[in-house]
Amino acid sequence: MLKQLRFKNWRNLRDVTIDLSPITVLIGANSSGKTNIFDGLKFMRDANVKGLEKLVAAMGYTTIVSNSPIEDGVVSLEFTFDGFQTSGLVTDSLHLKFDGRNFPFNYARGLVEGDVIFEDKTHFRELPIKNGSMDIYAGQAVEIEQRQRELRTTLIQNYQRRWQLLAENFFPASRLSGSETGDLYILESDGKNMLFSLEFMLDAYPELFKEFDQDARWLLQHVKTLAITRHPETREIELRLYEETKKLAPTISMGTLRSLAMLAAIHSLNMPQPLQLSYFSTLEPNIIPPETPGLIFIEEPDAALNPGVLQKFVELLRGYVENPDGTRPRQIILTTHNPTFLNYFEPEEVRVLQRGEDGHTSVHLIPDYIHDIWLKDGEYGLGEVWLTNLFGGTNP
- What is the per-residue pLDDT across 308-322, written as a single tens digit (0 to 9) for each? 999 999 999 999 998
pTM (global) more than 0.85: yes
Name the average pLDDT for the chain.
Answer: 89
Q: Residue 86 has what pLDDT? A: 60
CA distances from 209 to 52, 197, 315, 348, 354 (A): 36, 10, 20, 33, 40
Residue 143 has pLDDT above 60, yes or no: no
Better-scored residue on pLDDT, 164 or 133: 164
Sign of the Cα torsion 25, 364, 20, 91 reads positive
- What is the per-residue pLDDT across 337-379, written as a single tens digit (0 to 9) for each? 999 999 999 999 999 999 998 899 999 999 999 999 999 888 9
Mean pLDDT of 92-106: 93
CA distances from 233 to 176, 195, 199, 203, 352 (A): 14, 18, 17, 19, 52
Q: How far apart are CA 66 and CA 59, in angstroms?
A: 14
Q: How far apart are CA 59 and CA 102, in angstroms?
A: 9
CA distances from 9 to 56, 62, 64, 120, 165 (A): 15, 11, 8, 19, 22
Lowest mean pLDDT among 165-179, 195-209, 317-331: 317-331
Q: Residue 119 has what pLDDT? A: 79
Q: Residue 127 has what pLDDT? A: 59
Half-sphere exposure of 64 (CA within 13 A, CB side): 27
Better-scored residue on pLDDT, 118 or 300: 300
Contacts of 199 (CB under 8 A, 6+ apart): 228, 230, 237
- What is the per-residue pLDDT across 192-224, written as a single tens digit (0 to 9) for each? 999 999 999 999 999 999 999 999 999 999 899
Which DSSP string do the residues of 204-260 spell out, in sequence order?
Answer: H-HHHHHHHHHHHHHHSTT--EEEEEE-TTT--EEEEEEEETTEE-S---HHHHHHH
Q: Residue 285 has what pLDDT? A: 52
Q: Which among 40, 294, 1, 22 is positioned nearest to 160, based on CA atoms?
A: 294
- Classify residue 361 by its DSSP letter: E
* Type of residue numbered 86: T
Q: How far apart are CA 201 and CA 215, in angstroms?
A: 15
Q: Which among 71, 73, 79 is positioned nearest to 40, based on CA atoms?
A: 79
Backbone angles phi, psi at 149, to 5 degrees: -65, -40
Q: Residue 378 has what pLDDT? A: 87
Q: How far apart are CA 174 and CA 243, in angstroms?
A: 15
- What is the per-residue pLDDT across 224-266, written as a single tens digit (0 to 9) for each? 999 999 999 999 999 999 987 778 988 999 999 999 999 999 9
Lowest mean pLDDT among 126-130, 170-174, 273-277: 126-130
Domain 2-162+272-387 in CATH 2.60.40? The answer is: no
Angle between helix 146-161 and helix 34-49 axes, rounded to 10 deg: 120
- CATH 3.40.50 domain position(s) in the chain: 2-162+272-387
Mean pLDDT of 100-127: 83
Half-sphere exposure of 157 (CA within 13 A, CB side): 30
What is the per-residue burial (b if ≥16 Cβ within 10 Å, else e) of 185-206?
bbbbbbbbbbbbbbbbbbeebe
Q: How far apart are CA 194 and CA 188, in angstroms?
A: 8
Phi-psi category of residue 102: left, alpha or beta, with phi > 0 → left and psi -120 to 50 → alpha: alpha
151, 90 contact by CB (below 8 A): yes
